[in-house]
Chains A and B, each alone.
Chain A
Amino acid sequence: MGPHHPSTHGVFRMMVTLDGETVVKLKPVFGYLHRNHEKIGENTTYLASMPYTDRLDYFCSMTNNWAYALAVEQLAGLPVPERAEYLRVILAELTRLLNHTCLAGFLLQDTGASGTPLMYAFREREKILDLFESLSGSRMMCNYQRFGGCRIDATPEWLAAARQLVNGYNAFLDEYEELITGNEILMARTQNVGVLSPALAVNAGITGPMLRASGVDYDLRKVDGYGYYPRFEFRIPLGDHGDTYDRYMVRMLEMRESIGILRQALDRIPEGPVMDPKAKIRGFKPKPGEHYGRIEGPKGEIGFYLISDGTANPYRYRVRPPSLINLTILEDLCLGHTLADAVIILGSIDIVLGEVDR
């Protein structure tokens, strides 16, 4: 199938051997969207790579920005003002809502519910994108985080609009879950399909909602406690069976937790600068050294590994993309299932090819 099957999430080819309808062998072929991200990152300055991180996972530009900014800040030892940390949490959780909502829409599209669930999801996505646009100037490619803070401060009106969206989001989730979650067809299509055992998940380096759907309690927001996450109260939803339905359900529950984090953050966000006054924008040259900075993106652990040789460009710039590493177990999940199930399993892994191929 592929490189462009209408249901694939981008240009991705699967070489599938079938016995009747059953998948007996599946080999993925990557690289149809290899855009030289890492090589370009090594040939440009640290700051100039920031817009490219938007285009890694083009649903979650804010968390990509944050992961990269965090890696550089930890490499160079830059402090971040309190208000900027709060803004980052708010934007990251909004991105999580955005990503999981779209994923639910696309997953339902893959099961054959063509149109309606995706339209509901995109209706909510537009509301979040309006917030991003009014803050950063761009709908998808926000390019918002900077080393040592954020680019633009949020106005009180923006925070009020964000609060309004967050307050209305539970109602959308209720509506959506009433339509979808208990749906017989969805249950029949997704339960016991693509079961991922916790052992395989850990051994394959799976992260994010996929890992947690298999019942492994591992969330970098709790484990690393980066940013100001230790200051917020939230729970980590875990799955029982590790099947496609659990992967869907974990994401729905995560969105509810995200709403809780957003409420707390919007209540507590302090006044102050959003940019460290001593941070150097132009001519930024960190001391020689290496660092791996990571955050919990909506799809899993997104990390940037940087080696600095003291010049304005990184010596090595490496991305740890959650999509690619979550995709490596695709064959294990699909074996023994039908071809139509392979499409759903691929949808539940939640890949974005910009990140897989980079």
Chain B
Amino acid sequence: MTMSDATRPAINAQTSAPLSGPTDADRDELRRHGILLTSIQELANWGRSNSVWPLQFGLACCAIEMIAASMARFDIARFGSEVFRPSPRQADLLIVSGTVTKKMAPQVIRLWNQMPEPKYCIAMGACAISGGPFKQGYNVLKGIDRFIPVDVYIPGCPPRPEALLNGLIELQKNIRGRHIAGPAPVEADSPTAPGEYPVPAFGERDLEPTSNPKLWQPPVIVRPDKP
């Protein structure tokens, strides 16, 4: 069963609509005959999503649960992510596991910059998401998403290892939906995405700048009584 030229949709890199290919029923029929039909994009996403190698990088309490997730009971290897790489050059996934202090934030962002594309970030735990219980502290960054783009947020203090696995599965779903050609639906995949994110410096009172305005804007407070 081959598709004639007339039925094949025109490949146009400018349209973001998915190519209308064979249906799942067609594929099942083919698979029964020993033919595996796929596209480059599916193949790439299948490979990428099933071998997400995290950076061996722990910050605080959540790191212990991250280690627990890689141990026998929870076994992150079932999802292809057991290879914790000690070097950012070899890693795909940055799990920000724990409180990011203002002293540590530049190093975290530098690690993120050193990771090769495609790369993903999971903010694990309340501290990495928003500062968590230590938010009122003077030395705690109120969420790593002020400086680097985060794909999956896992709430909890600390999240259970199952929660980390769930976050990883969500990330895999996200990766499978990404396009490798055409205008990217994900900002990080587009050619205009910044290759490097600015690393803040230590200012007199706070980090300089205190956030990356392209990634994070302070929430706008709307007061109904004062239009």
Contact = CB atoms under 8 A, between A and B. Distances in A.
Contacts of A125: 68
Interface string A117-152: 011001101100000000000011100000000000
B24 to A, nearest CB: 40
A10 interface: yes
A interface SS class: loop
B101 A123 contact: no
A35 B99 contact: yes
Interface residues of A, number: 30
Interface in B97-149: 98-99, 101, 103-104, 107, 111, 133-134, 136-140
Interface in B154-183: 157-158, 160
B140 to A, nearest CB: 6
Contact of B101 (A33, A39, A58): A33
A54 to B, nearest CB: 8
A46 B71 CA distance: 37
A43 B134 CA distance: 12
A3 B104 contact: yes
A251 interface: no
B198 interface: no
A241 interface: no
B194 interface: no
B150 interface: no
Nearest to B134: A35
B85 to A, nearest CB: 9
Nearest to A8: B58
A354 B134 CA distance: 12
B86 interface: yes
Contact of B140 (A4, A35, A58, A126): A35
A36 interface: yes
A81 B156 CA distance: 33
A6 B140 CA distance: 23
A55 B57 CA distance: 19
B40 interface: no
Contacts of A123: 71-73
Interface in A49-82: 51-52, 55, 58-59
A11 interface: yes
Given A34-B103, A58-B61, A140-B65, A119 B71 contact: yes
B126 to A, nearest CB: 11
Interface centre among B61, B65, B111, B134 (most CB of A within 10 A): B61
B59 interface: yes
A226 interface: no
B136 A43 contact: yes
Nearest to A55: B61
A116 to B, nearest CB: 10
B188 interface: no
Contact of B138 (A11, A39, A140, A354): A39
A323 to B, nearest CB: 14
Contacts of B101: 31-35
A40 B64 contact: no
A273 B97 CA distance: 39
A10 B104 CA distance: 12
10 contacts: A3-B107, A4-B57, A4-B59, A10-B58, A11-B59, A31-B103, A35-B134, A122-B68, A140-B61, A140-B158
Given A35-B139, A123-B72, 7 more contacts: A10-B58, A33-B99, A36-B136, A36-B139, A52-B133, A118-B71, A140-B64
Interface of A: 3-4, 6, 10-11, 31-36, 39-40, 43, 51-52, 55, 58-59, 118-119, 122-123, 125-126, 139-141, 353-354
Interface of B: 56-61, 63-65, 67-68, 71-73, 86, 98-99, 101, 103-104, 107, 111, 133-134, 136-140, 157-158, 160
